[in-house]
Amino acid sequence: MSTREARTTMEDGKVTTGDTKAGTTPPAQVTVAQGATEKLVRAEDIAGPHPLETRDLNAYFGSHHVVEGVNLVFPENTVTALIGPSGCGKSTFIRCLNRMHELIPGARTTGDVELHGQDIYGTDADPVAVRRAVGMVFQRPNPFPTKSIADNILAGPKFLRVKMGKDGRGDLIERTLRGAGLWEEVKKRLDAAAGGLSGGQQQRLCIARALAVEPDVLLMDEPCSALDPQSTLRIEDLIRELSERLTIVIVTHNMQQAARVSEYTAFFTIEEQGQPGRLIETGHTREIFGNPQNPRTEAYVTGRFG
């Protein structure tokens, strides 16, 4: 049984997710914030399906308001880059998209996050199922260093108690490592400890590990910030390949990287220190970088602040 076949509905404590099908890229959509108020890009405003959407999403650490009122749609089979200065809430925001934010003591969210039209914060939603459907790759590679390469891949399915025979495990290991562009480099040492891989290889192993549970959405929080330029280019090539079957959200401080890998870009910023981060503008990447509608966006992407 595949991990996708093992899923049930959210009503049974799980999140229902279907197979991702490639579609046409929706036309550019631009949201411009007017002060603290932004125009909501709704589902009916975009062409084509969108697996993930936020409505008036707010994030807090205790009483500190970190992210305010974010309305954002992520079209299917596209890459959306989140850009903005440090401290504007980008990483906090994506952690809200798979309920990892709530793992921090005192952290909470308000508003809605819908995955395939279902509220991931609903009383009948299983956080484990949410994190299976919305995978995540972190800033620094974090494989299980003493476990073998193969066991790193199998960790997710084992945790989820997905039953597979020896052939099924072998197929999954090869398929996910190929999907992460790592198979040819490690196929003869699958029993070797993951900690012995290079930094770039470890990050691709983490991507393969995320792919092993067949997510529909993949969140990436500055996945190349700790890597050398050659490894960065490999990860960027991989992101483009994966977007043919996954919806990807990537946080990056690298403007060139955002321009290279994403179809859509969302710009976040803060008015002044201590205030919450807000979504200022989102649209097609070529529009955000070539013809931004908000002067704060233009100042950031041209390097005049941030």
pLDDT at 48: 58
Full-model pTM? 0.83
pLDDT at 47: 54
Tokens (6 digits) for 237: 């090539």
Quick check: 125 and 119 in contact, CB under 8 A?
A: yes
Domains parsed from the chain with CATH numbers: 27-144+216-301 (3.40.50.300)
CB count in 10 Å sphere of residue 184 = 9
Which residue numbers in the chain have pLDDT < 50? Answer: 1-44
pLDDT at 304: 81
What does the alpha-carbon distance between residue 192 and residue 53 come to, in Å, rounded to a whole number?
40
pLDDT at 24: 37
Strands (E), the chain: 31-34, 37-38, 52-61, 64-74, 79-83, 107-115, 118-119, 134-137, 217-221, 247-251, 264-269, 278-284
Q: What is the pLDDT of residues 195-225, one digit of tens each?
A: 999 999 999 999 999 999 999 999 999 999 9
pLDDT at 193: 97
pLDDT at 6: 38
